[in-house]
Amino acid sequence: MPNLKIYVERARYAAREDALSEQLPALRALLCDHLAVPPAACQIAVLPVLGLADQPELNAELFILPAPARDRSSIIALAAALRDQISTAAEAPAAVRISFLDAGTYVALK
């Protein structure tokens, strides 16, 4: 159930919206591969935002459930791969944060 939100500064979003949109299937494939989930489990959103000038123009937040194979080194590798793909599509450096959800309290209705 990876939930990826990519926040993009408004001007960068306007300039790179098509490139970001084209990158979405590759981002989903990356999540499926690294996290061993089917495509239907993924939720990805790209959102234009208004932020402060001294913040990164791209900020990705990924929320995932814990699993034995999702150790620190594999999550760092996933964060680096996400950062590289998003940065390339938007032509700007990206900050990536990955958080684990509490499996005992997580609820999802679809």
pLDDT value of residue 103: 85
26 contact partners, CB below 8 Å, separation of at least 6: 85
Res 32: pLDDT: 97
Q: What is the pTM of this model?
A: 0.93
Could you state, in chain order, the average pLDDT of each consecutive group of 10 residues for the chain (110 residues)?
Answer: 96 96 97 97 96 93 96 97 96 96 85
Q: What pLDDT, on a 0 to 100 scale, did the predictor assign at position 12?
A: 95
Domain 3-100 has CATH 3.30.429.10: yes
The predicted pLDDT at position 109 comes to: 78
Query: How many whole angstroms separate alpha carbon 55 and alpha carbon 8?
Result: 11
Q: What's the helix, strand, coil split of the chain in %, to 5?
A: 45, 25, 30
The single-letter DSSP state of residue 110 is: -
Q: Residues with Cβ < 8 Å from 32, sequence gap 6 or more? A: 38, 39, 41, 42
Q: Tell me what pLDDT residue 83 has.
A: 97
- Domain ranges across the chain: 3-100
